[in-house]
Structure 1
């Protein structure tokens, strides 16, 4: 029976109350999707409110719009998937072997406090599945609470978009919080690459996290490896 992966994507198109656009960083989805597709996995998209997913404009510009992302963006059938994502209430966590939170700064505004997404991740973890994130997707893990009342990230080794990378991206005045610091405040054993914006993946058992957009493919490959080892 084919493994099933749930991709979490955003519905937010602006940085808070500003006019600055944001959204899904497309390659973080497409790179992972390609890896899972090659592995024969079934894949489903879910977002906090369901429906349409906006795209981060910078992810559609060279060099961020690489071959994989460009092919998806040019494919009407693939793009249609981003117009009809499911709501968390429409998803049965028991149907999935893994959940992967994608990124883009937008997710900082709708992932952290979404109880539906938290329930999905906690349930998938509880039945032995893999919980994963790429880049800002780690913000969706911040308050995932397990049945025993502990936080999923407490004591876990993980990574996510660093504050150094936020400064280099020149968005420190736009983001609502420091993801790196927020993870550490919840007991996570945060790690990052020596250099910014290079691929970097950390796995702690069934928790698999990638630091930045360049880490999406490697993160998905690690998820495949973890599922294959079970």
Structure 2
């Protein structure tokens, strides 16, 4: 892995649930925990979103106890860093050849805009060309519409994880989400697994596909991505 190794981070543009009035968006720590680790280990990061432009932040990810985790609050107070979310790249403007890996952040917003055809095509190109594909929490929603060059869904036959239904119920969002992430992954032939207890750190690696279950798994996903890039 060289100092020029670049990772593309995908964030949501969706700021509210479609069926209920709650606000949502990016879970900030799932960006900052990953960003800080990979940049500390020599990677460069670019941030893109499905339609480009502004990235809303889930207000619950700004609670004091959450901001205290792994320096997220420090990043939230960093005007230069937060400005990165004011005008993100549009995913269709991305040149996959510039990047060694892609990482899907979570937050409930992604459940409404990560299944688009354009994002799926970009992700398929990452995987088909030997690059690392990673996601955390609700971020694996970005893996649900990724037809590979051989015609198979990216997750078919792969070992994966993602935000579990018990965690969704504990978060009191079971009535607000448009689908059950773990069930949708299974429908595509993925071998889905979860931690023994909700919200425990849990990461699954299957070759170049790396997934984490929940917000507390973002740093561990970053560690696995850096390790994978160092071995290539």
Name the TM-score class by shorter chain: over 0.9
> What is the rounded CA distance, in whole Å, between the counterparts of 1:105 and 1:116 in structure 2?
20
- The alpha-carbon deviation at position 218 of structure 1 amounts to 0.3
Partner residue, 1:92: 95
> What is the rounded CA distance, in whole Å, between the counterparts of 1:149 and 1:117 in structure 2?
16
SS of residue in 2 equivalent to 1:140: helix
Partner residue, 1:120: 122
> What is the rounded CA distance, in whole Å, between the counterparts of 2:127 and 2:5 in structure 1?
15
* Count of residues in Structure 1 that have an aligned counterpart in Structure 2: 229
Structure 2: any 5+ residue segments left out of the alignment? Answer: none
TM-score using structure 2 length: 0.97
> What is the rounded CA distance, in whole Å, between the counterparts of 1:175 and 1:98 in structure 2?
28
Partner residue, 1:133: 135
- The alpha-carbon deviation at position 64 of structure 1 amounts to 1.2
- Whether the 8 Å contact between 2:117 and 2:145 is mirrored in structure 1 is no
Partner residue, 1:22: 24
- The alpha-carbon deviation at position 17 of structure 1 amounts to 4.2
- Whether the 8 Å contact between 2:96 and 2:125 is mirrored in structure 1 is yes
Alignment of 1:77-226 (within 5 A): 77-112=80-115, 114-226=116-228
- The alpha-carbon deviation at position 88 of structure 1 amounts to 1.2
SS of residue in 1 equivalent to 2:204: strand
Structure 1: any 5+ residue segments left out of the alignment? Answer: none
Deviating beyond 3 angstroms after TM superposition, the runs of 4 or more aligned structure 1 residues are: none
For 2:75, which of 72, 80, 88 is the aligned residue?
Answer: 72
Render the CA deviation track for 1:199-229: whole Å, top value 9, x for unaligned.
Answer: 1000000000000000000001000101111
- The alpha-carbon deviation at position 115 of structure 1 amounts to 1.8
SS of residue in 2 equivalent to 1:63: helix
- The alpha-carbon deviation at position 94 of structure 1 amounts to 1.0
> What is the rounded CA distance, in whole Å, between the counterparts of 1:168 and 1:19 in structure 2?
19
TM-score using structure 1 length: 0.98
